[in-house]
Structure 1
Amino acid sequence: MGTAEHYHPHLRIIIDGSDVPVAPNIGVDPATGAMSALHTHEGDGTIHIEADTQGEVFTLGQLFLQWGVKLTPHQIGGVRAKPGDMVEVTSNSGVVAGDPMDLPLTPEQEIVLTLD
């Protein structure tokens, strides 16, 4: 965890019309309290980026890997899209195509993942 760059994207997950909380303390070692550069504190969807160097790129996939929750264009956790459907990804209200794992995180970004 560093102080060269510090910003807070926000993640909202909606499955079948209901909000799914983002877990608190992703990227935080429960034994020592040590935090990775990408972590959460509360379960409110705020992602904390506290990097040692400026310009380091962090992705939504890194958060999901630390969380231990599967994220693909067709799945969030254990919930799969219906045949022919995909996870809808928006960033600052704009639709994002491709693999949601590759989405770069940016300051004050609002990310919404929707799976109906």
Structure 2
Amino acid sequence: MNLRFSTVVTLAAIAGLTGCAADQEQALPDARTVVVLPTPDATSQPPWQTPGDVLAHAKAAGLDLGPMGTAEHYHPSLRIVIDGNQVPVPANIGVDPATGAMSAVHTHEGDGTIHIEADSVGEQFTLGQLFTQWGVALSSQQIGGVQADADSEVEVTSNGVKFAGDPADLVLEPDQEIVLSVN
């Protein structure tokens, strides 16, 4: 079983069954549903595609799916450069193609524009939430399966200023230009 994708397991306790007579009604205790959330992929190389199980990835990022929020609406942009080559950020990260439901952090186009469309004012969202929904690991040492050299880190700039720390913690802001690079 591949745990990168959401697996729903239904557990039912068998204890407590009453009688076995064919004419006697039997009742099972309430079933419990356990959702195993996907883990971002830390092994694959770019380009990375949009994952199939949008709801599970949104939940793993601490987000939910619903109609587009209108209380907060802004657009940071993301550019990823690996060994001098730009890596595309795909369309529809955080968007369920079957229903059109989306998380507050998502993409529509494949141009690196991140859409923040939240239903309440003042919520903060991070770059890590986008990457978790994308299913791609992000840390100061790697993007997906691309590792920084032992003596370097993933370079992160926000509006041209170097960001120190874990890139997943970078808070998304209006009109922000984010560049991630690994050489």
Shift of 1:54: 0.6
Is residue 114 from structure 1 mapped to residue 173 from structure 2 by the alignment? no
CA RMSD of aligned residues (A): 0.6
Q: Does 1:93 align with 2:155?
A: no
Q: Is 1:44–2:111 an aligned residue pair?
A: yes
Rounded to whole Å, the distance in 2 between the matches of 1:68 and 1:38 is 14
2-structure distance, mates of 1:55, 1:68: 26
Is there any run of 5+ residues in structure 2 with no aligned partner, and where? Answer: 1-67
CA distance in 1, matches of 2:89, 2:152: 23
Write the distance in 2 (CA, Å) between the matches of 1:94 and 1:109: 11
- Structure with greater proportional strand content: 1
Rounded Cα–Cα distance in structure 2 between residues aligned with 1:41 and 1:48: 8
d(CA) in 2 for partners of 1:26, 1:37? 11
- Any idea what SS the aligned residue of 2:133 has? helix
Structure with greater Cα Rg: 2
Q: What is the one-letter code of the residue matched to 2:167?
A: P
TM-score of the aligned structures, taking structure 1 as reference length: 0.98
Tell me how far apart the structure 1 counterparts of residues 104 and 74 of structure 2 sit (CA, whole Å): 11
Q: Give the SS at the match of 2:78.
A: strand
Partner of 2:90: 23
1:63 aligned counterpart, secondary structure: helix
Q: Which ranges of structure 1 fall in alignment gaps of 5 or more residues?
A: none
1:71 aligns with 2:142: no
Q: What is the Cα deviation at residue 31 of structure 1?
A: 1.5
4+ runs deviating over 6 angstroms: none
Report the CA distance between 1:30 and its aligned residue.
1.9
- Give percent identity, aligned residues only: 72
